[in-house]
């Protein structure tokens, strides 16, 4: 794909907007990138590496893949791809996915797996002397999380584009927060990113998938719906919420 294709320009604009609005990366940052093998994290890694070559801010990135422990995993194939791309990938074998799907945790396997992964990312970041963790969540993910929390947690909340932890010693950043999933899909296709099959047994039947289908029906009914929902999350009238 030509470097300055329309798809690249749109994606780069969305990433730049998120980074500048939330001051995501500063000179000297050391950043762990959570690489899952999906289109979002591969796009995130590509963009962070590409930006290193042309912006005055200097930062280091460390790609980490936490294998969830399911049979039929793709860690070897992902490692070979990263070597080809010049990414320094660290693979860690875990049993987080298996633990999340144990018989005593059928209600919400994703929650436990996600919590264990987050904790391990923090530990690795501390080990590497990193101050930031970059994750590949996009605009659709943020909207879906809002609806998941409303429907299944009974609260109005979502993922933040940038969020500090431990007295601001560590920050999670989501540079794709303003990028539509459809734009990332086009970019990944144009770049020829490989497709790694997610071995998680609930990947296609999760609550998030149900919410995604619900929202897509809304989006199909009116092209302004997605933008309005996203805008609403930063335009909250607390005086008109129940107390």
C-alpha to C-alpha distances, 78 to 84, 209, 234, nearest whole angstrom: 10, 24, 37
* Three-class DSSP category at 187: helix
Domain ranges of the chain: 6-240
**What is the DSSP-derived secondary structure letter of residue 197?**
P
Provide the residue count of the chain.
243
Q: What is the pLDDT of residues 44-87, one digit of tens each?
A: 999 999 999 999 999 999 999 999 988 889 999 999 999 999 99
- pLDDT value, residue 109: 75
Q: Does residue 147 register a pLDDT over 70? A: yes
Residue 102, classed as helix, strand or coil, is coil
Mean pLDDT computed over 187-199? 92
**Ramachandran region, residue 76 (left: φ > 0; alpha: ψ -120 to 50; beta: rest):** alpha
- Which pLDDT does position 3 carry in this prediction? 59
C-alpha span between 60 and 1 (Å, rounded)? 25
- Average the pLDDT over each of 133-147, 169-183, 195-209 and give the range with the smallest value: 195-209
Mean pLDDT confidence for 1-25? 90
Please check the confidence at residue 1 and state whether its pLDDT lies above 50.
no
Say which residue the tokens 């969830």 belong to.
Answer: 68
Average pLDDT value for residue range 93-116: 80
Would the pTM of this model clear 0.85, i.e. be above it?
yes
Looking at domain 6-240, its CATH superfamily turns out to be HUPs (3.40.50.620)
């Amino acid at each position: 794909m030509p470097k300055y294709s329309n798809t690249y320009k749109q994606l780069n604009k969305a990433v730049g907007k998120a980074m500048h609005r939330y001051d995501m990366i500063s000179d000297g940052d050391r950043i762990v990138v959570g690489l899952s093998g999906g289109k979002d994290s591969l796009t995130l890694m590509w963009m962070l590496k590409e930006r290193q070559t042309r912006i005055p801010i200097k930062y280091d990135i460390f790609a980490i893949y936490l294998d969830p422990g399911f049979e039929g995993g793709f860690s070897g194939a992902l490692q070979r791809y990263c070597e080809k791309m010049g990414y320094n990938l660290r693979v860690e074998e875990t049993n987080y996915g298996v633990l999340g799907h144990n018989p005593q945790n059928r209600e919400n396997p994703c929650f436990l797996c996600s919590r264990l992964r987050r904790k391990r990312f923090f530990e690795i970041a501390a080990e590497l002397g990193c101050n930031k963790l970059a994750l590949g969540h996009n605009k659709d993910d943020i909207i879906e999380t809002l609806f998941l929390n409303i429907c299944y947690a009974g609260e109005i909340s979502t993922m933040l584009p940038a969020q500090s932890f431990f007295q601001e010693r560590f920050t999670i950043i989501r540079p794709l927060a303003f990028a539509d999933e459809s734009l990332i899909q086009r970019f990944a296709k144009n770049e020829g990113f490989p497709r790694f099959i997610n071995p998680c047994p609930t990947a296609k039947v999760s609550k998030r998938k149900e919410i995604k289908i619900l929202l897509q029906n809304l989006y199909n009914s009116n092209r302004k719906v997605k933008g309005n929902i996203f805008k609403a999350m930063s335009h909250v009238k607390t005086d008109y919420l129940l107390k």
